[in-house]
Amino acid sequence: MNRKIKVTTAAAFIGMTTAAQIQQKPNILWIMAEDMGQDLECYGMKAVRTPNLNRMVEEGVIYRAACCTAPISSPSRSAMMTGVHQTVINAHNHRSNRDVPLGDGVKPITYYLREAGYTCILGNSNVMNKGRKTDCNFKHTPLGEWNGKNKFGLFDKYDEFTPEDQPFFAQVQLV
């Protein structure tokens, strides 16, 4: 009888451990770059050496067919941060409407990531200008909470993460 209990307990423990591993959320690093085109080694540009990005591509995801919704940075960033085309949220003109809140039902991606348990980090101290560009065409502040009415923070903290920040979403802007 004891052996049966031990085997059942071991099987249950293995099942719970496997389930915990499957449910583990990945860290997300969102690297944004302006005016680069495909000037990275992972896209075939041999003159530009990017070994760390190459390693990240090997271990993660690379997009081979992507498009942008506007030919300029702040409208594109606004669409990426909200998942809504910039003409729908009145953010199409470059660096306009920065004091206009998003409409009802529209929230930045960081709002949903926070609800899913992510710490949202902006920038990295090792990147030029600390990689903290948020340049969106809707009312926002870099740090703080978000409710879209009187709190407009996109991220939780700047630059660095600690082990207790897991899982994290980090946006780093290369200019």
- C-alpha count within 13 angstroms, C-beta hemisphere, residue 143: 8
Which tokens in the block code for residue 155? 């991220």
The predicted-structure confidence for 8-33, as pLDDT tens digits, reads as follows 444 555 554 444 455 689 999 888 87
Confidence (pLDDT) at 10: 46
Write out the DSSP string of 56-71.
Answer: HHHHS---SS---SSS
Give the containing element (helix H, strand E) for 168. Answer: strand 168-174
Residue for token pair 């809140």:
101
pTM: 0.73
Q: Look up residue 131 and give its amino acid.
A: G
The predicted-structure confidence for 32-90, as pLDDT tens digits, reads as follows 877 666 778 888 888 888 898 889 889 888 888 877 788 888 898 899 899 999 999 99
Answer whether residue 113 shows pLDDT above 90.
yes
Per CATH, is 23-174 categorized as 3.30.365.10? no
Q: Where are the domains of the chain?
A: 23-174
Secondary structure letter of residue 155 according to DSSP: E
d(CA 36, CA 105) in angstroms, rounded, equals 33
